[in-house]
Amino acid sequence: MKTNKLKVSMTAAMASLLLLTAACSNGDSGSGAAAEGKEEVTITFRSSGSEDTLTKYFESGLIDKFEEANPDIKINIAPVLASEGDYTSKIVLQMKSPDTAPDIVAEDTSIIKSDAAAGYLEPLDTQVAGWSDWQDKFIENLKAGVTGEDGKIYGVPATSDTRGIWYNKELLAEAGIEVPFQPASWEEVLEAARTIKDKLPGVTPLNMIVGKSSGEGVTMQTLEMLLYGTNDTLYNEETKKWVVNSPGLLDSFNFIHQLFNVDQTGPSMQVALNGQAGSIAFQQLFPQGKLAMAVDGSWAGSTWFENGAAPIENVADKMGFAPFPTQNGQEPGAITMSGGWAWSIPAQAQNKEAAWKFLEFLMNQENATARVVAEGNLSPRNDSVDVAGYTDRTFVAEAQALLDVAHFRPANDEYATVSAQIQSLVESVASGKLAPADAVQQLQDNVTRSLGADKVEVK
């Protein structure tokens, strides 16, 4: 008797457990369901918390304005609070299913080609063809960053950045180097570093990111900044093969070797290999006058603004931002690597038409510029410079000018593998464990092993 009662109650308990699970899941999922007869558009992006500028940007009347003009569309924002790496993992999983896919998603230009190849993203060629701004107002160079391997457009660039040499004007002047600093070749950069080492003991001449723990920054901010200033590239767009051995690669590794091991004008290994090397340089060493130059992104200078992590008074007088020169000063004289975020529409999105409507609104002159001003980034639109306040920001004019010489990473689905190899090789060369020639050889061997001999070529 007792046993039977028990059996019944156990079964009932299990059944209700499963029912409850199913019930709880109903109505929670994804986007797309028409609420109050409106089309819903869910927009997903990476948030950095309650003070997130992008969230504030959406909530400060932008959405209201759009919904007023388009009473049949409702915009939901769904920020993802996570580190940049975790954000990517999350959205690729979300975009797999119509139940979780947002209608608009923020894609890092480093992953957009890969996500396009995976079939997660909707090609936008027809949409941009009918949008006059796309032809006239978007900086031509940046379109490469949102073009898939198949040549189709998979996103609208929303923010951009450039990289160059940040420097302390006072220290350079003290060492007798002409300010504003305008190096015309790699040799002049190295020479400036040597001068600082001689004249200003105790000051680190030039910081470059070389620690594997800094991740992708090593590839993009150090190796590619060098390599794309030689006559070689990392990827041959025509043959679709990786160039794993070239004179340019050897010269790039030689530059790192020269800086860190021969001249010893780089940062100490403790700083260089720290995962927080960038923050240490900008929050501690620069403000304390212990660092003269650093190759870093255009956003980094905002560290010293009034509301930044390490404010410096009259920052425009004390600090400067110089273009990074090509190897021997060959055309176009300077180069930069560019990244940034784009807005894309997932292939599994429910309301693509409404999504595009919002996207066009989001990327008009006024709204596109308002975002980059709020975030301290560069605008992909060439008419942002006409908007009041855009170029008034410190360092923006210098950084913006570099967009004309910007290169993008060949960020297809094999890129992460190649980049991981580059990161550890750069670290090994900088810490003196590997000769530049051996690094190139190892890059060739390792990438060939990972991707196969048909994916690589030697120049």
Partner 1 sequence: MVKHRLQRNIQYGILVVLGLCFLVPLFWILLASFDTHAQQGIKMPNFTLDNFSAVLGDSGNLRSFGVGIILSGGQATLVVIASVLAAYPLSRYEMRFKKSFLLSILFMTSLPITAVMVPVFQMFLYFKLQNSIFATMLFLTASSLPYGIWMMKSFMDSVPIDLEEAAWIDGASVWGGLRKVVAPLMLPGIATIAIFTFSGSWGNFFVPYILLQTPDKLPASVTIYQFFGSHGLVEYGRLAAFSLLYTMPSVVLYMFSQRYMSKGFSMGGATKG
Partner 2 sequence: MKRKSRGAFLFLTPSVLLLLIFFIVPIILTVYFAFTNMALTGSAARNLEFVGFRNFTNMFQDPDFRISVWRTLVFLIFSAVIGQVVLGFILALLMKEKNVTFRRIIGIIVIAGWVTPEIVVAFCMVAFFSDNGTLNQIIGWFGISPVSWLFSFPMVSVIIANIWHGTAFSMMVYQSALDEIPKDIEEAATIDGAGNFKILSYITIPMVKGSIVTNMMLVTLQTLGVFTLIYTMTGGGPGTATQTLPVFMYNQAFVNYQFGYGTAISLVLLVIGIVASLFYMKSMKVKV
Which spans of this chain sit near partner 2 (rule: CB under 8 A)? 2-3, 6-7, 10, 13-14, 17, 85-86, 88-89, 92-93, 111, 114-115, 117-120, 211-213, 215, 269-270, 273-275, 412-414, 416-417, 420, 424, 427-428, 431, 449
Q: Which of partner 2, partner 1, none interacts with 118 (beta carbon under 5 to 8 A by kind)?
A: partner 2
The nearest distance, CB 108 to partner 2, in angstroms, is 11
Q: Are 336 and 224 in contact (CB under 8 A)?
A: no
For partner 1, the closer of residues 159 and 412 by Cβ is 159
For partner 1, the closer of residues 90 and 290 by Cβ is 90
The nearest distance, CB 417 to partner 2, in angstroms, is 6
Task: Return residues touching partner 1 (CB under 8 A).
Answer: 2-3, 6, 17, 20-22, 24-26, 28-30, 47-52, 78-84, 86, 89-90, 93-94, 96-97, 99-100, 275-276, 278-279, 283, 297, 299-300, 303, 309
Q: Which of partner 1, partner 2, none interacts with 398 (beta carbon under 5 to 8 A by kind)?
A: none
Per-residue burial over 239-264, b if 16 or more Cβ lie within 10 Å, else e, is: eebbbbbbebbbbbbbbbbbbbeebe
For partner 1, the closer of residues 213 and 394 by Cβ is 213
The number of angstroms, rounded, from the C-alpha of 75 to the middle of its chain's C-alpha atoms is 26
Q: Which of partner 1, partner 2, none interacts with 8 (beta carbon under 5 to 8 A by kind)?
A: none
Q: In angstroms, rounded to a whole number, what is the distance separating the alpha carbons of residues 451 and 243?
A: 12
Q: Which of partner 1, partner 2, none interacts with 100 (beta carbon under 5 to 8 A by kind)?
A: partner 1
The nearest distance, CB 408 to partner 2, in angstroms, is 17
For partner 1, the closer of residues 396 and 434 by Cβ is 396
Q: Are 218 and 212 in contact (CB under 8 A)?
A: yes
The nearest distance, CB 326 to partner 2, in angstroms, is 31
Q: Which of partner 1, partner 2, none interacts with 25 (beta carbon under 5 to 8 A by kind)?
A: partner 1
The nearest distance, CB 3 to partner 2, in angstroms, is 4
For partner 1, the closer of residues 126 and 276 by Cβ is 276
The nearest distance, CB 96 to partner 1, in angstroms, is 7
Q: Which of partner 1, partner 2, none interacts with 367 (beta carbon under 5 to 8 A by kind)?
A: none
Q: Which of partner 2, partner 1, none interacts with 374 (beta carbon under 5 to 8 A by kind)?
A: none
The nearest distance, CB 120 to partner 2, in angstroms, is 7
The nearest distance, CB 276 to partner 1, in angstroms, is 6
Q: In angstroms, rounded to a whole number, what is the distance separating the alpha carbons of residues 77 and 272?
A: 38
Q: Which of partner 2, partner 1, none interacts with 16 (beta carbon under 5 to 8 A by kind)?
A: none
The nearest distance, CB 283 to partner 1, in angstroms, is 8
